Amino acid sequence: MMDFFPNLHFDDPLFNMAIVLTAGVLGGELFALIRLPKVTGWIATGILLRQLRLPGMDTVVDPSALDRFGPYMNFVLGFIAFTVGATLYFGSLRNTGKRIGLLLLGEALITPLSVGLLMYFGGRVLDPSMALPPAALFAAIAIAGAPGTTVLVIQEARARGILTRTLLAAIGLIDMVAVAVFVFISTFLADQSGWLHALESVGVQFAVTFVIGALCSLLAIVLVRTVVSPAFLGPLMVAVVLGAWGAAASFGTSGGILACTFAGITLTNSRHDLVRSGEAYLNSIGGALFALFYTFAGMKLDFTQIPPVIGLVALYFLARLAAKSVSAYVAMTLSGATDNLRRYLGMSLLPHGGVAVGLILLIASEQSGFSDEVKSLVTTVGLSALAINQLLGPSATRFALTQTGEAKKDRPRLLDFLQENRIMVDLDGDKQEIFQKLTGLLYATTPMKIPQEKFIESVWAREESQTTCLGSGLMIPHAIIDEPGAKEVKGVLGISKKGIALDTPDGRLVHAVLLLATPESSRKRHLEILAAFATAITRDINIREQLYRSRSPAHAYEVLHADDLNDLNYFLEDAQERAGLLESNQDES
């Protein structure tokens, strides 16, 4: 055949991408069959493809040719960073600030110090050539997580809860901390101009990439308001990612990641609806994007380099695992987080991904200024340990989500509107003050079309006609609102541990006040919520006491969404199925 087609070859980039994508999809499906995350299968497939030999060719895809796919890898990494930034919607982060702040502080101090010290002193025992520069660089790289991998595992596990919420809020910020520490350490080691100059470099890079990302998002918002039709919102979001990464490319991989993250943060807090449009546009092909990206990432990791440095690889993996666990445990303990969060947050932070790869490649570049010995050691140990983290990390995150009971909870439930940001503790005051505080919380966390004063008037009118104090420490003030097209019941919950003296039918103090705003079309759902809440409070004294004694909104959320309340705070699709079965049985009879 070669005589007829002398120019025949199989190294066309698109043909190579087709091979890698097909293999990655198959690998992901095989891993899913044994109940492992698909992302783990994609990475493992990439490692296998790198080693696979076929007759007439050295490898299926030449690893040295992977640079041809750099723009594609950058786009997916930028999309991941943009998506992570878009999760930082400030309105939904209410009540999480303390634990997120302490976690970031732990990641900036405990994680790098622990890893750096263990790699320097322990590394010198295993390899006398270990010096301060590589140990310090390992410390910075260890902070980085894997936002894309974590998001994929959460989606695959259909998880929802306090751990899930904390992960989604923190993973993007943790990567930003990693980039900041990396810029500081690499600048300090490379030019030795002092720590003040290193801090200045961090500030400049963050400032410039913030401006780039914010300008790209603001330009998109202007175009949507003036020229772009709704049908092209998705492509416009893709342009934001491409523009932010491209404009920040001169700052290296970390600059592109930061710019896309800032673009997502700016867009979601300026026009939250546009972010959802972009995500919906790419979700249809998200499987292909991520399967190809992570299979390519696996192909960058050469396991044949591990034997000479296997001791350092194991030390780095264990040092990072221990540091992440200690950092998360200390931060969650100081923030007063729930037991589940203290136990399992560190484990769920194990995945190590795109940002870490980018930082390692920056060290290996000619412009880094590091010696060949440092480049070789950091690249070999860093990528080898990264491979282990990428293989075990997704499974660790999924295990944590399962152990906390958050897996398979991402389905509509009766009390879904009571998210952590819509719960407040230490409520006090008279009725008027209580209604004002809870209404303020409702309007701060929930889109409402009816004016706030008009809503309070409706609540007061209902309260004056008949008290909403139901006894057993529960009060449920509410109003039926006229919002055309609205279907969802909205509400907030206030908890008072000491109790509030109000006019109650049983003379008991009020400990829980549930404020509801119900559209005309949702009266039936409104009654179901009233019944579920009242039943939960009056039926089980343990649930009642746990809710009334909640130390934080996170604790109250866990009580309301625990498995013990499944029959009251039920999954709506299960209720619909039961209703459908009941109707069919009645028809048959």
Q: What is the pLDDT of residue 117?
A: 95
pLDDT in tens, 99-145: 888 999 999 999 999 999 999 999 889 888 788 889 999 999 999 98
Token code pair at residue 140: 């910075």
Same domain, 222 and 102: yes
Same domain, 471 and 569: yes
Q: What is the pLDDT of residue 112?
A: 95
Same domain, 332 and 424: no
| Cβ count near 348 (within 10 Å) | 30
Same domain, 398 and 476: no
Strands 474-475, 469-471: parallel, antiparallel or unpaired by DSSP?
Answer: antiparallel
Kindly report the pTM of this predicted structure.
Answer: 0.71
Q: What is the pLDDT of residue 368?
A: 65
Same domain, 317 and 425: no
- Name the residue with tokens 């194990």: 350
- The Cα–Cα gap between 112 and 222 comes to 41
* 318 pLDDT more than 80: yes
pLDDT in tens, 476-515: 888 888 766 667 788 889 999 889 988 888 888 999 898 8
pLDDT in tens, 551-565: 888 888 888 777 655
In-domain check, residue 45:
no
- The Cα–Cα gap between 520 and 524 comes to 9
- The Cα–Cα gap between 26 and 28 comes to 5
Ranked by mean pLDDT, the top range of 61-75, 111-125, 231-245, 544-558 is: 111-125
* 196 pLDDT more than 90: no
Last residue of a domain, one of 403, 431, 461: 403
Same domain, 363 and 493: no
Same domain, 203 and 258: yes
Q: What share of the chain in percent tops pLDDT 90?
A: 17
Same domain, 347 and 433: no
- Name the residue with tokens 């449920």: 476
Same domain, 452 and 502: yes
In-domain check, residue 409:
no
Q: Which domain holds residue 457?
A: 420-588
Same domain, 248 and 386: yes
CATH number of the domain enclosing 474: 3.40.930.10
CATH number of the domain enclosing 344: 1.20.1530.20
Same domain, 172 and 119: yes
Last residue of a domain, one of 403, 431, 463: 403
Number of domains in the chain: 2
In the DSSP assignment, the letter for residue 240 is H
- The Cα–Cα gap between 245 and 223 comes to 19
**Would you place residue 1 in the very low, low, confident or very high pLDDT band (cuts 50, 70, 90)?**
very low
- Name the residue with tokens 């308001």: 225
In-domain check, residue 547:
yes
- The Cα–Cα gap between 114 and 225 comes to 49
In-domain check, residue 4:
no
In-domain check, residue 290:
yes
Mean pLDDT is lowest, of 25-34, 37-46, 460-469, for 37-46
